[in-house]
Amino acid sequence: MYLYPVEVIADTYVSRVGGCSAELGKGEIGININALTANTSLIAGESKARLKFFDSNYPFFLRRKYRIVGLEEHMDGYELSENGEVVFSEEEFQSEFEGREVIINAVEDFRIGDDMSKVIKAMRERIRNMEL
């Protein structure tokens, strides 16, 4: 079995950062394909998630989305995700990330998708009701 990602609540996982790969593009993170299949409901190449380090206070919904790439044995970066660790692109990797725990939040992608209009409408309605 794989140590990571560990589901902590529905569609939200914890993993560690394993390093970076030249094979990943900006806006992508890689995770061992077998760990994705065994430990998550994430779909390689389709699922998107927002990431948060434990010591960061920046809210999830203001963070950028990353497309989840399933790292296979023949791919650069696979060895950095032997236990399901997160691998960043070289462009976005910072050395202080390595070994740190990260929260992978895919709730928005699974429950809302790319259409935020319903969320915005609900927020406006809520604010309007508070003002009354």
Can you list the domains of the chain with their CATH numbers?
A: 6-131 (2.40.40)
Distance between CA atoms of residues 33 and 84, nearest Å: 8
Whether the Cβ atoms of residue 48 and residue 66 lie closer than 8 Å to each other: yes
Predicted local confidence at residue 21, as pLDDT: 96
Predicted local confidence at residue 81, as pLDDT: 97
Write the DSSP assignment of 52-74 as a string of letters.
Answer: EETT--S-GGGSPEEEEEEE-TT
**Alpha helices for 3-116 (secondary structure H):** 33-39, 107-111
**Which residues, including other chains, have CB under 8 Å from residue 108's CB and lie 6 or more apart?**
50, 60, 61
**Regions of the chain with pLDDT less than 50:** 110
Predicted local confidence at residue 129, as pLDDT: 80
DSSP state of 42: -
100-114 confidence digits (pLDDT tens): 999 999 987 545 555
Is the pTM higher than 0.95? The answer reads no
Predicted local confidence at residue 111, as pLDDT: 53
How many Cα atoms are found within 13 Å in the side-chain-facing hemisphere of 30?
A: 28
